[in-house]
Structure 1
Amino acid sequence: MPSFLDLTIHFFLQMVVILAAYRLVWQLFKRLGQVQVVAIMAAGFLLGPSVFGAVWPSAQHWLFPTTLSIGGQSIPHPSLTVVYVLGQLGLVLYMFLVGTSFRTSILSDHIKVAGITASAGVIVPMALGGLTGYLLVGQGDYFTGKVHAWQGGLFLAAAIAITSFPMLAWIIHDSGLHNTRLGTMALSCAASDDAVSWILLATVVATTKSNMNGAILALAGGVGFVVFMLVVGSRALRRLDAWGEREMRSGTALPVGPFIAMLLVLLASAWFTDWVGVYSVFGAFIAGVVMPRGRLLDAVRERTEPIVSHLLLPAFFIFTGLNTKLSLLFHPATLIVVGVVLVISFVGKFGAVTLAARWQGMSWREAGSMGSLANARGLMELVLLNVGLTQGLINQSLYTILAVMTIVTTFVATPIYRMFERSAWKNGMVFGADGETARGEPTSVVAEGKPPSAVSA
């Protein structure tokens, strides 16, 4: 068993390799019109058994050990646990920062469009995924023996319907869309999609254990938490902002007391939503949404965002990459399933969201952008797959199929969005707070009036 010192030394080396690999991949990906989070995700898969492990198996297993043999039994390696916990911390902190940038005023102005578009983005992919999952149960080594056909349908419905809220948030931030109707609506739809998907997953997990209490707790706890934070928590937190303002007037750049109080609210929110089964990122995001806007919050964002985004979050992706094995796909029947899953995942999301947004009055370019961004499944899809695997719902083959789908759909999301953005720019339009508007109007929001190619990726 490795000592604490051994784990610490090994962890430092792992982080050096993860960050170096991510920066190297980023040099290529930024030329492909991608954002940094996609490069981080790709680096995680490249360092896993499918690429690094195929080229140099002994080195990959030594650097990122997943199991440890004790007394003839194989157990999870403590090094893997360290990486997992660090990744979860990064994920929670990042979602808090996303919540602090969320503009509820734009959402309230377009709540009807957001609701209808989000519903279409859930219902159509759920139907396609549910039917596919129902048919896959018993047709191969995809689901475990304890999963019935209807449960398999619900699981795949959740997997196809989900949009990665954290991934989309990063794309929107890096693309300069966080103060636009498009960015706010896309995030709102992603939040709804993820909530529905997690309730479906909780139902599947609960029913395989012959216990529906988990699904009921997830639904009641999640809704109750959101209502409490929006009604009670937001009012109580105004005192926190006033406290921070008093401290900053005296010359303190980042008051320690208010900052610690903010962290306590964040971590307690993440713990509660994890405990009820809705997942910690939702609690972290809501905690960020209800935080009062002011100098204190600006200071927190400025000082924490770089370390969270570029040090802590990459650990999550390497953990996921270690569970993906592309060698499992090289079978004719499996390749057919890969093709079917890719088609229904992309077409179901893009088509449903685009048509619904257009029906609600968005221009074709803005609606198409919504549809393309909805396909960014990244983080949340990978989290869902990890739950399915660790809970004994799916086998390694389906995990890898859905991981490949995640990579492909997330990879194409940004280039397709940029295609619509360039089309708008060529026609003298930009995506602003009130939708697609003429360049130069006060409501237009594009990185300092620069063309899309100049926006930071």
Structure 2
Amino acid sequence: MSIDSAVTHVVAALAMVIAASSALGAAARKLRQPPVIGQLVAGIALGPSLLGMAPGGVYETLFPDQIKPILTSVAQVALVLFLFAVGYELDLGQLRNRGAVTVISLSGFVIPMLIGAGIVLLYPGGFRSANGGHPVDATFILYMAVALSITAVPVLASIIRDQGLAGTGPATIAMAAAGVIDALSWPVLAIALIGGENGSVGAWAEKVALLAAYVLAMFLVVRPALKWWMHRPRALMTNHVPVAAALALASSWATSALGLHVIFGALLAGIIMPRQSDGAPDSQVVRPLQETGGLLLPVFFTISGMSVRLGGLHGSDLLLLLVICAAAVVGKVAAGSLSARGAARMPWRDSLLIGVLLNTRGLTELIVLNVGLQAGVIGPRLYALLVVMALLTTAAAGPLIGPLHRPAGAAPAERAGTGTATGDGQTPDTGQAPAVDAEPTPQS
């Protein structure tokens, strides 16, 4: 295929992908579901599972193999810009807070991880079969533990807004806890992937040392240099957006060169990006990156859906899917509910609502699954099962919230930042919750 032909195919494919994902994303919102549900369904529909079954080679004509690496590259760039904004807005102060959010966060992270590792150890044959015969080793067990512990902050923010929960106590606590859970998940995922290629202790230790050196260099060298450069008098580049984009892409390249995925570099770049004097992210930096990444992020969802090959699943995979879904739901809902009830002494209805909110996955889960697929930790069949699990658990949040959510006039709830009244009249420490309205552009 010539360059001109490849460009023509890529432009046409992007037009189709963006149009289909936007249309189905809007349809999902009409059904009171996060747009990511519709965008992922668009990818499955445009992939080999549905469009690939059409006669006449329609799928191969529209999406030839030669352009798939280009579409994947576009999706990865969008993901890098989006995750840089996530890291830039990440409030590491939540990790130091004590009280209800700390207990709920740790429970919502550790318990699902233990359950995820437990089902692999209890049913290794099923996972080995669905994973193409790959060994059930420590890397795989740790990866599955992380995959079941994820809560998607952007999707959660969208659900909270659409369900009228913005500003309520349970929503504020759930958002804060979800932010901490995701912040804890990325380092553990990095550790899991470091040992993926070479199981020797020496190779693992070497990669850990290189990664630690890189992180230290980013905090001790790059960050001070950026602060000096951006805040010096008569700065050459008064527009900080190009600096942020270059930093995100360069850091992503560095972590990729270290054997990790580009997302880790993007997140780290966002974390070390200097903030304003009051400690808040610069909206003039965040907004353009969110809008640029948000415009192309549906390409990532669609590419993720196109990687799902439902026709390749076996009948025995249904049992494994039920096991994975049950573990995912029980781990999150039980951990969130019991810890909210015990730590914050909240009513059972509000405690269950927090557990249901923490069970939402979506965008963050898709990122983790794509990383695992590209790293070879999981194969196409297990990837498809985990994508279906992410869809089901995210789609179930809306219907489950209805019976648990008390309307504004039925039971007074404290506004965000003031806490939620507990059963004994005390107010739990909710920490610094992220603003639920500060949602990324794609609202996914």
Task: Indicate the residue corresponding to 1:117 in structure 2.
Answer: 104
Please say if 1:300 is aligned against 2:285.
Answer: yes
Task: Indicate the residue corresponding to 1:70 in structure 2.
Answer: none
Task: Indicate the residue corresponding to 1:271 in structure 2.
Answer: 253
Q: Distance in 2 between matches of 1:20 and 1:380?
A: 23
* CA 176–274 in structure 1, closer or farther in 2 if over 3 Å, else same: farther
Please say if 1:59 is aligned against 2:58.
Answer: yes
**Match of residue 120, structure 2, among 133, 155, 162:** 133
Q: Distance in 1 between matches of 2:187 and 2:56?
A: 38
Q: Distance in 2 between matches of 1:400 and 1:269?
A: 30
CA contact (8 A) 1:94 1:308 kept: yes
| Higher mean C-alpha displacement, 285-294 vs 166-175 | 166-175
Please say if 1:18 is aligned against 2:5.
Answer: no
Q: Normalising by the residue count of structure 1, what TM-score does the alignment of the two structures yield?
A: 0.77
Q: Distance in 1 between matches of 2:358 and 2:95?
A: 20
Amino acid aligned to 1:382: L
Q: Distance in 2 between matches of 1:219 and 1:171?
A: 37
Partner of 2:322: helix, strand, or coil? helix
Task: Indicate the residue corresponding to 2:181 in structure 1.
Answer: 189
CA RMSD of aligned residues (A): 3.9
The structure with the greater share of residues assigned to helix is 1
**Match of residue 321, structure 1, among 302, 305, 314:** 305
Partner of 2:147: helix, strand, or coil? helix
CA contact (8 A) 2:153 2:178 kept: no
Task: Indicate the residue corresponding to 1:403 in structure 2.
Answer: 387
Please say if 1:156 is aligned against 2:144.
Answer: yes
Task: Indicate the residue corresponding to 1:382 in structure 2.
Answer: 366
* CA 44–434 in structure 1, closer or farther in 2 if over 3 Å, else same: farther
CA contact (8 A) 1:437 1:444 kept: no
Displacement of 1:98 in angstroms is: 2.2
Per-residue displacement from partner, 1:175-194 (whole Å, max 9, x unpaired)? 867x9554233111122123
Task: Indicate the residue corresponding to 2:85 in structure 1.
Answer: 97
Q: Distance in 1 between matches of 2:218 and 2:329?
A: 34
RCO higher in structure (CA 8 A, sep ≥6): 2
Amino acid aligned to 2:288: R
User: What's the % identity of the aligned pairs?
Assistant: 27
Task: Indicate the residue corresponding to 1:74 in structure 2.
Answer: none
Displacement of 1:37 in angstroms is: 3.2
Amino acid aligned to 2:297: L
Task: Indicate the residue corresponding to 2:425 in structure 1.
Answer: none
Amino acid aligned to 2:296: L
Amino acid aligned to 1:78: Q
Displacement of 1:406 in angstroms is: 1.6
**Match of residue 191, structure 2, among 196, 199, 204:** 199
Displacement of 1:282 in angstroms is: 3.4
Q: How many pairs are equivalent?
A: 421
Per-residue displacement from partner, 1:55-96 (whole Å, max 9, x unpaired)? 55722232123xxxxxxxxxxx33110111111111110112
Q: Distance in 2 between matches of 1:11 and 1:145?
A: 35
Amino acid aligned to 1:89: V
**Match of residue 143, structure 1, among 128, 131, 143:** 131
Per-residue displacement from partner, 1:383-402 (whole Å, max 9, x unpaired)? 44344444544443222211
CA contact (8 A) 2:176 2:433 kept: no
| Higher mean C-alpha displacement, 9-18 vs 36-45 | 36-45
Q: Distance in 2 between matches of 1:317 and 1:11?
A: 16
Partner of 2:26: helix, strand, or coil? helix
| Higher mean C-alpha displacement, 116-125 vs 162-171 | 162-171
Q: Distance in 1 between matches of 2:75 and 2:264?
A: 16
Please say if 1:42 is aligned against 2:41.
Answer: yes
CA contact (8 A) 2:24 2:35 kept: no
Displacement of 1:219 in angstroms is: 4.6
| Higher mean C-alpha displacement, 219-228 vs 133-142 | 219-228
CA contact (8 A) 1:134 1:150 kept: no
Q: Distance in 1 between matches of 2:409 and 2:214?
A: 41
Amino acid aligned to 1:79: I
* CA 55–265 in structure 1, closer or farther in 2 if over 3 Å, else same: same
**Match of residue 349, structure 1, among 332, 336, 340:** 332
Displacement of 1:348 in angstroms is: 0.8
**Match of residue 269, structure 2, among 277, 287, 293:** 287
* CA 426–229 in structure 1, closer or farther in 2 if over 3 Å, else same: farther
CA contact (8 A) 1:421 1:430 kept: no
| Higher mean C-alpha displacement, 340-349 vs 220-229 | 220-229
Displacement of 1:329 in angstroms is: 3.6
Per-residue displacement from partner, 1:249-299 (whole Å, max 9, x unpaired)? xxxxx944x333222322232233334455333332333234313799322
Per-residue displacement from partner, 1:106-137 (whole Å, max 9, x unpaired)? x2673454443333223322222223223444
CA contact (8 A) 1:37 1:170 kept: no
Gaps of 5+ in 2: 423-431, 438-442
Displacement of 1:22 in angstroms is: 1.7
CA contact (8 A) 1:431 1:437 kept: no
Partner of 2:282: helix, strand, or coil? helix
